Chains A and B, each alone.
Chain A
Amino acid sequence: MSEPVSKPVPVPSALSAPYWEGLIAGELRLQACADCGQLRHYPRLLCSHCYSRAHRWQVASGHGRIHSYTVAHYAYHPAFAGELPYTLVTVDLAEGPRALGRWLGDAAPAFGAAVQLVILHRESSPALAFTAV
């Protein structure tokens, strides 16, 4: 018997820890520049608009639209073999940035379709997922 393989686990940095704490608390947090307000995702040290280091965390509404997607049919990591085929969707969040998440629908996602965020509380790590509205 081989050992069950676990999914890759994110290693939060000082910069990204609030993002991961947010997911555990059930919210998707986007980084917002405290000086000019520009949103950024994934978390970065500087605002590329005004170069400020100061930022706050803004909770995303969870509303968005399908930008693109792929359906995985091959497991590049053994921990995902049992989930094949699975769909990954790239979503234009209502706030502007994009998010990648797992697709919860049975049918293929439709380009431009409205979706709603669902946070999956998995054993390995919390995960973004989206469902049709």
Chain B
Amino acid sequence: MAIKDRACVSGIGETRYLRGSPSSAVELQLEASLLAAADAGIAPHEIDGVIPIGVVSAIAEDFIENLGITDLRFSALIPHGGASPVMALQSAAALVAGGICKHVLIAFGRNVSAAANKAGARIHQMPQFHYVTEYEYPLGNIAPAQIYAPMAMLHMQRYGTTVEHFGEVAVACREHALLNDNAIMKKPMTLEDHRNSRLIAEPFRLFDCSLESDGGAAVIVSATERAADLRQPQVLISGVAVGHPDSPASITQRPDMTSLGLGKAAPRAFAMAGVTPADIDVAEIYDCFTYAVIRQLEDLGFCAKGEGGHFVAGGSLKLGGKLPTNTHGGLLSQAHIWGMNHICELVRQLRGSGGRAQVPDANVGLVTGYGDMGDGALAIMRRR
């Protein structure tokens, strides 16, 4: 395979995650970029490819000017919401495997604390939501919780998925967040706390929903053959793939509302990596909502479609469980950084620098992206 293992994540950088950051999205993006370059052990001006991520984002010119890049050989935008970071890993891996670039920076920042940036307003500025904005927003279908809820209702109706199953995901993420000094949520959560949290959009309760948070995160993807003398242990991108659901701009019109783009991407990424779900030691799964984790576990092949709820029962996703998942606390309890934080955490786990949340002997892991109305991406990585 042309891409398998020929690219590695050489550097990761994360700012402090918080609510009410005084810094702009672009400032956070640049701060994270410098941290990632320092982590990789390269000078920022050596970056020769950039994929900026985010609704409010620096553009290639900003990176050239602020980082002093002298010879940028590639830039592109990937406008697929929370799927964009892992989709960018695919682009970056192909770029370095193909010899176009040596070091590709993927950088994200967000500041959503201003009223104009709240969930209910933000998505209607994004072109991929134009059907929702014209035909559904005027009815009161405004924010992702409401837009995704009918998928979860259908999953419960068809397969018997329960509130407790959703709670298992929320509780596992919270337990992991308590081990993470850079997590926003600091209070323990029980299944009962989850069930008692207020309804937002049935079946979603408050604790089924991810956080609104500010921060920046960045990763650098380098050619494996050129990364031998860099600072960090190499984490190789073994398999990576992207998939879009049918009717990607309208869940209402999707033939099978419970299907996702990940269902198309996952078999491709596993085939490229040459591994199976049984080989995965740690998983970082995009958790915009608890339900999204359950559904993605099915598409990833950890269980059959409809069995995701049963799979997560009994603490399966916790450290020490059968599939330690979102070991940083996820979007649900660490911070909502569009899943850039999931990539950073997987790299940390595979380097063996996961701190109190380290999964013992983590050699192979995966990270998913989930964007907009079900765009999907999967990267399978391994420690060299």
Contacts and interface: CB of A to CB of B under 8 A. Distances in A.
Interface in B105-119: 118-119
A80 B253 contact: no
Contacts of B203: 70
A69 interface: yes
Interface string B106-135: 000000000000111000100000010111
Nearest to B135: A42
B138 A10 contact: yes
Contacts of A90: 150, 252, 257
Contact of B253 (A9, A42, A85, A86): A42
Given A42-B134, A68-B151, A99 B252 contact: yes
A47 interface: no
A36 interface: no
Contacts, number: 97
Contacts of B149: 70
B146 A76 contact: yes
B134 A73 contact: no
Contacts of B134: 10-13, 16, 42
A101 B199 contact: no
A12 B130 CA distance: 11
B173 to A, nearest CB: 21
Contacts of A73: 198-202
Contacts of A128: 139
Given A42-B250, A68-B154, A99-B252, A77 B201 contact: no
Contact of A76 (B135, B143, B153, B157): B143
A11 B257 CA distance: 26
A7 B138 contact: yes
Contact of A68 (B131, B142, B153, B201): B153
B153 A69 contact: yes
Contacts of B157: 68, 111
Interface string B1-39: 000000000000000000000000000000000000000
Interface in A90-131: 90, 97-102, 111, 124-125, 127-128
B142 A77 contact: yes
Nearest to B203: A70
Given A70-B146, A90-B252, A97-B253, A125 B138 contact: yes
Contacts of B118: 76
A3 to B, nearest CB: 15
Interface of B: 118-120, 124, 131, 133-143, 145-146, 149-151, 153-154, 157, 198-203, 250, 252-253, 257
20 contacts: A8-B142, A16-B134, A42-B131, A68-B153, A68-B157, A70-B149, A70-B150, A71-B202, A73-B199, A74-B198, A76-B118, A76-B143, A76-B145, A88-B140, A97-B253, A98-B252, A100-B135, A101-B139, A111-B157, A124-B138
Instruction: Name the 8 nearest CB pairs between A and B, nearest first.
Output: A76-B120, A70-B149, A68-B150, A76-B142, A76-B143, A73-B199, A71-B202, A68-B154
Given A90-B150, A102-B139, 10 more contacts: A10-B138, A12-B134, A42-B135, A68-B154, A70-B149, A73-B201, A76-B120, A77-B140, A83-B140, A85-B199
